[in-house]
Structure 1
């Protein structure tokens, strides 16, 4: 049976999602932050007929859909819900789950990423590169300096205005944090989290100024960021599509746990 979930389902839903907190990062964060009564968000659940326990979940955030299941589920039932939304833009999720929807929904484009998780730091490899350099936790007064670093990184396509407003919002709401290091009076490297929730967080926006690459600064800030969150009992995750660029994460303990697909209608 599939039905729309409500506030009375919160505890059972979060317990179900909490069995895989990294993979369910976005689902957990959206439910914790926005609940079940928002115009821009809806959540459906499929239940086991024998015991009434949740076996699969589908979340709509704006025009994007995210399914999750711990085992076999009613793919067609979820697909029928999605197809009723003419404004639907994207379906994303674990590659093994998202791929099941291809037989029911036509997609024009699919982007695949590697998905990695960190549960505990590799202590031997996570030692900072230099005792003389320390990573600082950013506050609102550091937003301009850190975003100026991001402005100069070609891989980041967010506009300067958006990057600043996004960072301010995550710092103000506590849904993300940033660590950075300074060299010669400017931000030399930084790393952030997003979608932080009670169980997990995602690493994003890892950057090093071109003048300071090869010095281990990115490793330092990512290690400090991860150490912070692991000490709070949270698991961390990240997407990557360049195996070479992922070497920094593998050194401190990230392990691949599967693929992630973003499928555009």
Structure 2
């Protein structure tokens, strides 16, 4: 049985998600920040005959994430996603690769991108690079500067909801952005998203093409790692660029699996 979850389900839902806290970082963070009743978010669960959870699906704006540690009703969830996605011609879906790929052929998915998923269990190495440059924390006035920087980088896709998501993250303290500027211009940045009581995902690591090779991105990520550890949160991230992977490994990140995104 698949049904929509409510705040009354919160305790069993979190016990279920904490089986795999790093891979469930997005679901945990979004539930902690926005609950079960937000108009841009909804959560569903599949239960077995004994009333135990088998899978959880989160919709956040126009994106879906599903977690299941074993077999789950892929056909049932695919029907649910089609019903709630409205007129979308291409479904945006992500999750552990072995889970997400089960929707191939069941949904009109976008282009698949497979990334390495990492977690960092020590700040020992980040501390060695922290402080190399003046890293600042972005505030409300910097939101458009962040989007402008991302817009100057070919690898970044800015969606219509990007600004709203940045603002909501700041409002709920579930996201932050650190940056480096030169001559008053933001030239490198990195953000967190889905920050929760256990962990945080580092995203949006970027450097203006004219300022690459100076160590800016490494310094910002190192600052994020140190600050997150000081708050008792484990940093996570994903990557598909081997050069970026070497930087993250040097800072103490270790691969724990694969993450699939369909966009």
TM-score range, shorter chain: 0.7 to 0.9
- Deviation of 1:212 after TM superposition, in Å, equals 3.3
Assess if the C-alpha contact under 8 Å between 2:126 and 2:226 holds in 1: no
CA RMSD of aligned residues (A): 3.0
* Residue aligned with 1:189, SS: strand
* Alignment gaps of 5+ in structure 1: none
Contact preservation (8 Å) 1:115, 1:259 = yes
Counterpart residue number, 1:170: 169
The alpha-carbon distance between structure 1 residues 134 and 13, as it changes in their structure 2 partners (threshold 3 A), is same
1:128 aligns with 2:134: no
Deviations 1:165-224 (A, max 9, x none): 654443333221111233444434221112222222221221223443222121111110
Structure-1 separation of matches of 2:166 and 2:235: 19
Segments of structure 2 that go 5 or more residues without pairing to the other structure are: none
The 3 A distance-change label for structure 1 pair 127 and 53 is same
Q: 1:63, CA displacement in angstroms? A: 4.5
SS of residue paired to 2:128: coil
Q: Deviations over 1:62-117 (max 9, x none)?
A: 454322112222333323433444626333211100112335x1435441221322
Deviations 1:201-258 (A, max 9, x none): 2212212234432221211111101211122222232232322233221211222222
SS at match of 1:170: helix
Contact 1:21–1:235 (Cα < 8 Å) also in 2: no
Return the alpha-carbon distance in structure 2 between the equivalents of residues 76 and 181 of structure 1: 46
TM-score, normalisation: structure 2: 0.82
- CA 1:65 to 1:137, structure 2 compared with 1: closer, same or farther past 3 Å? closer
Closer, same or farther in 2 for the Cα pair 1:108/1:155, shift >3 Å?
closer
Superposition TM-score, scaled by structure 1 size: 0.81
Which secondary structure state, in structure 2, belongs to the residue aligned with residue 123 of structure 1? coil
Which residue in the other structure is 1:249 paired with?
A: 248
2:78 and 2:107 in contact (8 A); partners too: no
Matching residue of 2:120: 119
Aligned length: 260
* Structure 1 pair 178–49 and aligned structure 2 pair: CA distance change class (3 A): same
State the shift of 1:262 in Å.
3.0
Structure 2 Cα separation of the partners of residues 165 and 108 of structure 1: 24
SS of the counterpart of 1:156?
coil
